[in-house]
Each structure stands twice: as C-alpha cells, then as structure tokens.
C-alpha cells in the first residue's frame, strides 16, 4: 500500500542526502518521481545536500496546491511513481493534507523530509501536520553532534555566532554561513537551554576570567 512517510531530524543529519538517494535508487530502476521543495539553500527549484549533490525540483509557493499539481501532471501524460517533498517543515498544513490525499486518492508513495522543531524548540506547522497524518515517522539514525560531542537534538539560530531566540520562524540560512550572517547550529538540549554555541564556548574558554589564578 502507498504510504506517507515523514523522515525527520535536526539539521546536518542527512535528510536531503537521503532524499537524493531515494531519487537516485528509484530513477535507476526506471521509475519517475516528482520532487517538491521550498526554501532550499541552493536556491529556488533545487534540492541539495551539504555533500554537494543537487537536482532540480518544483519550488512550492505559498498557497500552491500540490494535489492539483500532480493531477495536472498526470493528466498531461506525465508519470509520478513517487513524490519527494524536501524542506517539508516549510509547507503549509493544508499542503500536507494535499500530500496525504496524493497517497490515498492517487496511490502514490510520498516521502517527506524535514526538521521537526524550529530554533525556539516549537513545532513547525508543516511538521506538526506530518506527525499527525503520516503512516510512518522515521527519525534519521545519522546523528548530528553538538560542539561538545553529545548528540544534537535542537536547532539554534545564531547571529555572529551568538544564539538568538526571537524573530520570524522562517529565516533561510545554513550551518556554513559567515559569522556576521544569520546561521544555524545544532546543539544538545543542555547547551541549547544555556544558549551556548561553539563560538560562545570558545570565547568563554579564552576569557581571562575563567583562567586559573596562580597562587604565591
């Protein structure tokens, strides 16, 4: 039976890489898929991974009807043996409903990939709806690591290396952005709670206030 599967995890855990691998495996067997994405780091209409792999995709705009797009694609003679939806956390809840309808009414497998929570540890609306509707939720087993070496469980937004907890839910950035730009970093819960990024931890280690004071 076709399924709606949600592959979730933090940034840097290989979600887009897995999406590209699924696309490669199925296309190599003669299957044809439709790839949706939104706000990919490589730009509009792209699905990319940090390993440097990239492929073309359909950019999903606000209010776009994914079910109608598939029906139109099929009615014009196109094929869709499966659907991949990357950056699914950015989709509207209504668009997640449309993906579920693709599975139920068109008998097409849908593989969705996304971050579950934002930099404030709040659920993205799209991810919340996926958790509610998906036939399966798969937490990726490639563990991203916090700067301290512990398993990273939270996404932090940074500006100049300093963690911020206010602002719009969606601001496109990456873990490789320069120190003066909006970026993201994965942290364990302990250091997310303490708002301690790799940069602030290095600064604290170099501070003379924390160096041992020699005794006479």
| Conformation bin of residue 48: beta by default, left when phi > 0, alpha when psi is -120 to 50 | beta
Q: Is 44 a catalytic residue?
A: no
CA dist 68 and 169 (Å) reads: 27
Residues 6 or more apart from 20 whose CB is under 8 A from it? Answer: 47, 49, 53, 55
Strands (E), the chain: 4-8, 33-37, 46-48, 54-56, 58-59, 82-85, 109-114, 136-139, 154-159, 162-164, 182-187
Query: Which of 87, 94, 143, 166 is labelled catalytic?
Result: 87
Q: Which residues are catalytic?
A: 87
């Amino acid at each position: 039976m076709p399924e709606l599967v949600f592959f979730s995890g933090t940034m840097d855990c290989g979600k887009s890489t897995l999406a590209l691998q699924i696309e490669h495996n199925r296309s190599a067997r003669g299957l044809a898929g439709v790839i949706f994405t939104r706000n990919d780091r490589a730009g509009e209409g792209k699905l990319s991974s940090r390993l440097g792999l990239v492929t073309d995709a359909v950019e999903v705009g606000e209010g776009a009807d994914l079910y109608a797009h598939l029906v139109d694609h099929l009615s014009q003679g196109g094929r869709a043996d499966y659907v991949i939806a990357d950056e699914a956390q950015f989709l509207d809840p209504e668009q997640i409903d449309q993906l579920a309808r693709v599975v139920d009414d068109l008998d097409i497998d849908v593989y969705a990939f996304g971050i579950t929570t934002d930099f404030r540890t709040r659920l993205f609306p799209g991810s919340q709806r996926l958790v509610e509707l998906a036939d399966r939720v798969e937490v990726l087993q490639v563990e991203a690591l916090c700067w301290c070496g512990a398993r990273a469980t939270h996404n932090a937004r940074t500006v100049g290396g300093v963690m911020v907890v206010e602002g719009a839910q969606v601001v496109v950035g990456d873990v490789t952005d320069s120190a003066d730009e909006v970026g993201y970093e994965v942290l364990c819960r302990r250091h997310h709670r303490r708002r301690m990024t790799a940069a602030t931890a290095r600064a604290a280690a170099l501070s003379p206030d924390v160096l041992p004071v020699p005794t006479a």
